Amino acid sequence: MDRGHRGITIRGNSAQIAFTYQGVRCRESIPMPLTKAAQKELVLKRQAILYEIKTGSFDYCKHFPHSKKAKEFRKTRPDQYTIGEALKYWLQRNQTKCQPSTLRDYSSAIYYHLIPVFGELAISELTAIKIKEFLADLSCSNKRKSNILIPLRRVFDELYHDEIIDKNPLERVKNLPANTREPAPFNADEISRILQELKEQERNLIQFAFYSGLRTSELIALRWQDVDFEKNCFYVRSAKVRGHLKCTKTKSGKRDVTLQPQAKEALLNQQALTGKHNEIVFHDSRTNQPWKDDQAIRKIVWTPALKRADIKYRNPYQTRHTFASMLLSRGENPMWVAQQMGHKDWSMIIKVYGRWIPQSK
């Protein structure tokens, strides 16, 4: 065979075959004996490849199963690329883009829920009805179900916008309505009874929670440098989730909050205990180190205090509801309350706390 045959180059005991696929110039090496029969077979192979590319039936993996390009081009074949592969690749690409706690949630959704059910399916095999059946079988809240679908939605959004698939089955699957719980704020007597069951750091922590409206994750990330006694306010800039500091839940979560008298009192008492460290405000009194996460507060401080005070259990988030309802009940402007709470507008305040807003006469 002529060594200068178009698209084929002989190199020792192998040949390099060249062709263009999806606008990319490809070169693949094939071991072959230096016989006329082998060379003739190589010419026929290239002709077959060109024909398959022209007719849209070319399968890169079939011709070159060990090629790096084959693995890349496989991602453009929804009939071959599996959902499991796509999810793993998506998670890998987002390692540096997401907070550790978010990555942990995505990993849980992918490896414990999505891959066991959909992992072996080709991208093109997923349908809206399969997703709806999957959701129906999950034994968790509607909010959790919606969160589990997030990685799958992101993968299929990318595939659709990259024109790898013609339609996105996730677009026909709406998130289920969240089962929102009614606020159950504590009254003044209950707050007093709870605080009476706590001492020093734990008391300061819970008292500040009641009169600041912070999420627990924001509470344990508060630093002394974020407190300004002269201006009678403090600044919410970060949150601590599963042991990792991160930005606040939303952009509006970064906010300046006015110090209520009871919150200021708690901080002044706490300053004598941790102020010298000039770092995190609230510490676990057992170790005198900052709290690692909000779950520890619930188990070690909150639940035992409610039991001792003989008060029906509500989760620690109700301290935030208590703060909002307290401000609204005394006639504070709902827009100002929304800013203090870290909401982007006051629609959430009206929706969740409307019954605590005094009616105009």
Residue 33 has pLDDT above 80, yes or no: no
| 240-253 pLDDT per residue, tens | 877 777 776 666 66
Q: Which residue has the higher pLDDT, 70 or 217?
A: 217
With H, G, I as helix, E, B as strand and everything else as coil, classify residue 358. coil
Note the pLDDT of residue 248. Answer: 63
Residue 95 CB neighbours (<10 A)? 9
Q: What is the mean pLDDT of the chain?
A: 86
Q: Which residue has the higher pLDDT, 126 or 75?
A: 126
Distance CA 211, CA 266 (A): 9
With H, G, I as helix, E, B as strand and everything else as coil, classify residue 223. strand
Query: Is there a shared CATH topology between the 83-172 domain and the 188-356 domain?
Result: no
* Topology classification of domain 188-356: hpI Integrase; Chain A (1.10.443)
Distance CA 340, CA 257 (A): 5
Note the pLDDT of residue 196. Answer: 94
Strands (E), 190-336: 227-228, 233-236, 238-241, 244-247, 255-258, 283-284, 289-290
| 137-157 pLDDT per residue, tens | 888 888 899 999 999 999 999
Domain ranges of the chain: 8-67, 83-172, 188-356
Q: Report the CATH architecture of 83-172.
A: Orthogonal Bundle (1.10)
| 89-139 pLDDT per residue, tens | 999 988 888 888 788 899 999 999 999 999 999 999 999 999 999 998 888
User: DSSP state, 116?
Assistant: H
Show Cβ contacts of residue 94 under 8 Å, excluding neighbours closer than 6 positions. 103, 106
Residue 5 has pLDDT above 90, yes or no: no
Contact 149, 131 (CB under 8 A): yes
Longest dimension (CA), the chain: 101
Q: Which residue has the higher pLDDT, 34 or 274?
A: 274
Specify the pTM: 0.64
- How would residue 1 be classed by pLDDT, with cut points 50, 70 and 90? very low
Contact 19, 53 (CB under 8 A): yes
Distance CA 227, CA 101 (A): 26
> What mean pLDDT do residues 298-321 have?
93
Note the pLDDT of residue 312. Answer: 92
Backbone angles phi and psi of 96, in degrees to 5: -95, -5
Residue 199 has pLDDT above 70, yes or no: yes
With H, G, I as helix, E, B as strand and everything else as coil, classify residue 344. coil
